[in-house]
Structure 1
């Protein structure tokens, strides 16, 4: 069988995409799949300040905040930053303050100068913190166990300044929920694996810890205060290094979160994330952009070549080989990251996610305005 020049070029491009894909799967993500999860410390260490920013989160605070106070940790405070709420959050926190002596409430007053959104609220929470080690989560989050803070406490190594945690979403019966959880899985596998590889580039504010002194030493969010999002990933991107950052994925330290329930709200959330990603370091933008572009090209080339009479067998073979290789890595990771039921839908969700990421990238070009809440 002879191939023409076009078919040879397309096949070569497909193989190139396949080998680049293997780098991410076997060279990066396999590190997380084979990572030995450590046992949690048996005792609490230094005191901790837990910081939660809330804007009209009365319902979620009433539902999830008690689990934070029930942590098996000897000394910690919980700082809730009430960011101009009008849904009864203020009254709720006043009542909770009577039950929990380690609750500290910080109120963000109304005023035009306080338009920076969540970053301003986070900064106020950090300034109010009594302790150097800060653990962050959100109002709609639930720690997987009472051992969460023991896992997210400052490690023994004095060099460690940042701990990247993991936060899965609650399961709901819908395609949107499956997509959200799979996209969260993909994101987590990426940032946790690259951290293990010595190239930490982001973290999620639903489960993140770092030193207060690091925040002020590096001037906090000053470099990107004008960006509505990025209080978590942009701070980590700017300050995390191979020597000062570790990950924590022990199942007892996972923090479950409420997912978006409509495509519109989810698109708005992802738009904020895309906006923050534009300020990543150049090397991080390159590896992440290359990953998405190569994956998209792989599917596009495989589909195109499958339609050619001379190349359909080769295209299908490379595609199946890709699926087989990834099925040796990702189902284990799905199980490890609390999404084991998604492993049966992995190939389908992978294609849907790729289409979604492309659409979201296009929308990001035309939709400029974003806000926290």
Structure 2
């Protein structure tokens, strides 16, 4: 048992160290001072349901974009609050093209994929940029995406996402955990084996969406409008998936304020693992699961007398130290230095978190936006 635990922990330490060096080797993107007026036409697609408390803040952010060749389509998925009324009212005086798209209340396996697909069908932009109704974006967001696209010719661009507030320990824990996903996804893209991205800050060519037949083949899953689409594009364009490492491209969203909301979101994310066509993301998920279980097994073995103290400390150290150094880099980039001190606490609870959601993902069904989905 000792050898197995040390091997698993040693491989995880190597993996995390590689991620750390990869992140450092990724030079921050510095966009041009101005983007050519004839730059790419962008359609921002925002699927929403019951976002009356948040949507106007995001729309105001679009009023301040320095890049002006864009339109916004907000696909309202049968909101039961005043979301749609706010959209129509804002559209009357908006300084940009705002197109509310009311969707029918028909039952569908993936409401978000339906919203995005119907929005793209009427989009006039060459680039599709997606975000969520509870997000906030900076004034240089679209300009940075357009400049990066012109510089790289990427088929899909994944951008950084973080949380808006860190008022409680729960907020900070979510910030650290989310940073690990963003950083890992960015590094695997840089290594040419993309695994994760986030639909709150995603861009892809409209024609490429059509080339890979959109969400066909994965439209039976409620989740996966980001990662599963990215995997399809990566198969057709192996060198076409890029991460936009720029502070100007960071999108902020709200951390969950309740355990139930957090649970349903993470279960929704975990549910798409079963649909991965490539073995790599699944193997990586299992590897992370085992790596997080190793310290718990080691401590249990030490308490029961099966493992000596030095071996237990080695297993724990191989997990914690490289991981801390990697997460610190990501948090500093996301301008979340205040959450660095929470990394050790996150490392303490994360093994339990991984085990819990790894098992929870095996069951079907969760609640999202007032609906029960599979």
> Could you state the TM-score of these two structures normalised by the residue count of structure 1?
0.90
* Aligned-partner Cα distance in 2 for 1:79–1:46: 17
Counterpart position of 1:260:
256
Given candidates 309, 313, 316, the residue that maps to 1:316 is 313
| CA-to-aligned-CA distance 1:264-296 (integer Å, 9 cap, x gap) | 111011111111122122222112221221232
* Aligned-partner Cα distance in 2 for 1:279–1:165: 23
2:161 aligned counterpart, secondary structure: coil
**Cα offset for 1:178?**
2.2
Given candidates 100, 105, 110, the residue that maps to 2:100 is 105
* Aligned-partner Cα distance in 1 for 2:274–2:166: 31
**Is the deviation greater in 294-303 or in 92-101?**
294-303
How many residues align structurally? 362
* Aligned-partner Cα distance in 2 for 1:141–1:356: 25
Is the 1:79–1:104 Cα contact (8 Å) retained in structure 2?
yes
Counterpart position of 2:282:
285
**Cα offset for 1:345?**
2.4
In 2 relative to 1, CA 227–310 (structure 1 residues): closer, same or farther, beyond 3 Å? closer
1:300 aligns with 2:297: yes
* Aligned-partner Cα distance in 2 for 1:256–1:126: 24
**Cα offset for 1:325?**
3.6
Given candidates 10, 18, 23, the residue that maps to 2:9 is 18
* Aligned-partner Cα distance in 1 for 2:172–2:65: 30
Is the 2:172–2:342 Cα contact (8 Å) retained in structure 1?
no
**Cα offset for 1:151?**
1.5
* Aligned-partner Cα distance in 2 for 1:301–1:269: 30
In 2 relative to 1, CA 22–243 (structure 1 residues): closer, same or farther, beyond 3 Å? same
**Is the deviation greater in 166-175 or in 253-262?**
166-175
**Is the deviation greater in 306-315 or in 211-220?**
306-315
Given candidates 316, 331, 334, the residue that maps to 2:331 is 334
Given candidates 188, 191, 198, the residue that maps to 2:192 is 198
Is the 2:109–2:219 Cα contact (8 Å) retained in structure 1?
no
Alignment of 1:142-157 (within 5 A): 142-143=136-137, 145-153=138-146, 155-156=149-150
* Aligned-partner Cα distance in 1 for 2:13–2:117: 41
* Aligned-partner Cα distance in 2 for 1:60–1:25: 36
Instruction: Specify every segment of 5 or more residues in structure 2 that has no aligned partner in the other structure, as ranges.
Output: none
Counterpart position of 2:132:
138
Counterpart position of 1:344:
341
**Cα offset for 1:210?**
0.3
Is the 1:162–1:245 Cα contact (8 Å) retained in structure 2?
yes
Alignment of 1:1-373 (within 5 A): 10-44=1-35, 45-100=39-94, 101-112=96-107, 116-143=110-137, 145-153=138-146, 155-156=149-150, 159-240=153-234, 241-280=237-276, 281-305=278-302, 308=305, 311-320=308-317, 322-371=319-368, 373=370
In 2 relative to 1, CA 357–321 (structure 1 residues): closer, same or farther, beyond 3 Å? closer
- Pair member with larger Rg: 1
**Is the deviation greater in 327-336 or in 186-195?**
327-336
Is the 1:118–1:372 Cα contact (8 Å) retained in structure 2?
no
**Cα offset for 1:158?**
6.7
**Is the deviation greater in 222-231 or in 340-349?**
340-349
Is the 2:74–2:100 Cα contact (8 Å) retained in structure 1?
yes
**Cα offset for 1:177?**
1.7
* Aligned-partner Cα distance in 2 for 1:46–1:310: 60
Is the 1:17–1:298 Cα contact (8 Å) retained in structure 2?
no
Instruction: Specify every segment of 5 or more residues in structure 1 that has no aligned partner in the other structure, as ranges.
Output: 1-9
In 2 relative to 1, CA 306–250 (structure 1 residues): closer, same or farther, beyond 3 Å? farther
**Cα offset for 1:357?**
1.8
> Could you state the TM-score of these two structures normalised by the residue count of structure 2?
0.90
1:221 aligned counterpart, secondary structure: coil
Counterpart position of 1:5:
none
